[in-house]
Structure 1
């Protein structure tokens, strides 16, 4: 039970760090650029900022996974990213839906936080099952 609590707390912390990086990047992009497709560009760049942060933290501290070499790690990151395509789509749809429905930055960022949270819950299960499959024996199953 302690291991499950540890994983839950760390995963939540890492999700919060990645969310802050993602949404913070979006704020900066919107501050710098307000032209055509500014919202879409900010969402994309925010996603590209949060993704590697979350990958490194989860790989090391949640799944305790050690890559064999740089090539293996690169392939693993690509698989991790591919598993995130659907959860990223969910995040984008929720954030953009809030933007469209409410028309304010605050509500768009709230939608982004909600979309990221939902996506992260689903992503954990995908990563556990398909990405980090050769993890340490010490990692406890979390269903």
Structure 2
């Protein structure tokens, strides 16, 4: 795959996962007290975005042929582990914008910025540690 195709595909998948994440957060935040629901919304949205991004990356970015529950379990565990640092970038940026701006628009701006930086870092970690045997 050419570098241009990789960047476009990875970027498109990042956008899809971001929309899944933020859409889930909005659904959770509709449940009432936004201050009380902020952390659950962040966590549930992150999980949904993580699963969406893993499935897309595994198949269309890294072309990983491994199948079965055991293979997916190992890969998803490593994929999730690589996402810990990048999630800290995302959550920190989103939370900072939420505190400063106090609006959904500010929170989501911070989320998009944090996710964009985090996804660049995550691609490199995934390539080196999760899907490296495919090179």
Q: TM-score range by the shorter chain?
A: over 0.9
Q: When the two structures are superposed, what TM-score results if normalisation uses the length of structure 2?
A: 0.95
Aligned match of 1:132: 131
Quote how far apart the aligned CAs of 1:49 are.
0.7
RMSD, aligned α-carbons:
1.3
Quote how far apart the aligned CAs of 1:3 are.
1.1
> Number of matched residues?
135
Structure 1, gaps ≥5 residues long:
138-143
Q: Distance in 2 between matches of 1:55 and 1:32?
A: 28
Q: When the two structures are superposed, what TM-score results if normalisation uses the length of structure 1?
A: 0.90
Q: 1:6 to 1:118 in 2, by over 3 A?
A: same
Quote how far apart the aligned CAs of 1:74 are.
0.6
Aligned match of 1:95: 94
SS of match in other structure, 2:132: coil
Structure 2, gaps ≥5 residues long:
none
Quote how far apart the aligned CAs of 1:115 are.
0.6
Higher helix residue share: 2
Quote how far apart the aligned CAs of 1:32 are.
1.9
Quote how far apart the aligned CAs of 1:85 are.
0.4
Aligned match of 1:26: 25
4+ long deviations beyond 6 Å:
none
Q: 1:116 to 1:68 in 2, by over 3 A?
A: same
Q: Distance in 2 between matches of 1:36 and 1:109?
A: 15
Q: 1:79 to 1:9 in 2, by over 3 A?
A: same
Q: Distance in 2 between matches of 1:6 and 1:18?
A: 18
Quote how far apart the aligned CAs of 1:40 are.
1.2
Bigger relative contact order, structure 1 or 2 (CA pairs below 8 A, ≥6 apart): 1
Quote how far apart the aligned CAs of 1:118 are.
0.6
- How big is each residue's C-alpha offset from its partner over 1:25-60, in whole Å with a ceiling of 9 and x where there is no partner? 111111123265311111111001100100010000
